[in-house]
Amino acid sequence: MFNDEALEKIKQKALEDHIPIIMDDTLEKIIEILEKEKPKRILEIGTAVGYSASQFAKYTDNDCIIDTIEIDENRANEAQINIKSIGVADRINIMIGNAVDILPNLKEKYDILFIDAAKGKYPIFLEYGIKLLNPNGIILADNILYKGYVMSDYNAHKQRTAVRHLREYIKEITENEKLESEILDIGDGLAISRIKADK
Ligand code: SAH
Ligand code: MG
């Protein structure tokens, strides 16, 4: 049984701990996509404490499996406890490590990829991730507008590298002829790209 109360507690604790969990309006849009696409397998990069993965489990069929990658062992361990308390541990596989190392070794094919981790790695996540998707699969990238910095001329030094890589990601999804993409100004920015079935 899905424990909504446990999920809400985990959300509140994550917010208190300043863990950058998915924003409500971004989640709403993704739920819309999940309900329409009915994915059977989802890959997430950036588990944190398992909040978004649990939400995805809530809004997909019981036979939908979610594989999720987290580099920080403490967070992954907390996520494991959380998904158990929510009642979705049998549907979520947490992999501990750097997604850059894990992605090239994955054997499954996915209907949806959710990128929500190191902004400087978005282009490489896309390059590896695209190969793991089924025809018609969807790639979602959170924080693609990074507090507006991506569309602004001025960026402080500490944001510059992330901004450069996020812009590179946007350029790639826009120019790649295998993809049909849009960028939504909701939450911290959400990029949605669909793999064209005939490519
Ligand atoms: N998707 C989560 C929030 C993820 S926050 C939610 O909405 O609930 C981003 C997470 O990505 C952090 O926990 C961070 O440790 C992890 N991360 C950063 N770089 C990573 C990498 N290269 N591989 C895997 N995880 C990474
Ligand atoms: Mg995010």
Give the torsion sign (CA, 35, 38, 44, 50).
positive
pLDDT given at position 155: 83
- Which atom of ligand 1 sits closest to the CA of residue 20? 5
Pairing of strands 92-96, 190-195: unpaired
pLDDT digits (tens, 9 = 90+) for 81-105: 999 999 999 999 999 999 999 999 9
DSSP letter (8 states) at residue 137 = E
Rounded to the nearest angstrom, the distance between the alpha carbon of 57 and the centre of ligand 2 is 17
How far is ligand 2, taken at its centre, from the CA of residue 198, in Å?
A: 30
Domain of 64, in residue numbers: 4-195
The burial class, CB within 10 Å (0-12 / 13-18 / 19+), for 141 is buried
Which residues form ligand 1's pocket by a CB distance below 6 Å? 20-22, 45-46, 48, 51-52, 69-72, 75, 98-100, 116-118, 121
**In this structure, which ligand is nearest to the CA of 119?**
1
pLDDT score at 85: 98
Taking only the tens place, the pLDDT of each residue in 42-87 is 999 999 999 999 999 999 999 999 999 999 999 999 999 999 999 9
Instruction: Give residue 146 CA to ligand 2 midpoint distance, Å.
Output: 9
Q: Does residue 157 surpass a pLDDT of 90?
A: no
- Going by pLDDT thresholds of 50, 70 and 90, the confidence category of residue 199 is low
Model confidence at 141: pLDDT above 90? yes
Q: What percent of the chain has pLDDT over 90?
A: 94
Q: What is the CATH number of the domain that holds 91?
A: 3.40.50.150
d(CA 147, CA 163): 10
Tell me if the pTM is above 0.85.
Answer: yes
Number of domains observed in the structure of the chain: 1
- Residue 142 in this model has a pLDDT that exceeds 80: yes
Band (pLDDT 50/70/90 cuts) for residue 1 is confident
Q: d(Cα 167, Cα 146) in Å, to the nearest integer? A: 10
Work out the pLDDT band at 13, boundaries 50, 70, 90.
very high
Ligand 1 atom having least distance to the Cα of 49: 8
- Kindly report the average pLDDT of the chain as a whole number: 96
Lowest mean pLDDT among 23-37, 149-163, 183-197: 149-163
Q: Which ligand is nearest to the CA of 122?
A: 1
> Which tokens hold the place of 172?
């790639």
- Model pLDDT, residue 167: 97
Q: Which residue has the tokens 């994550």?
A: 14
The residues, any chain, with a CB within 8 Å of residue 62's CB and separated by 6 or more, are 91
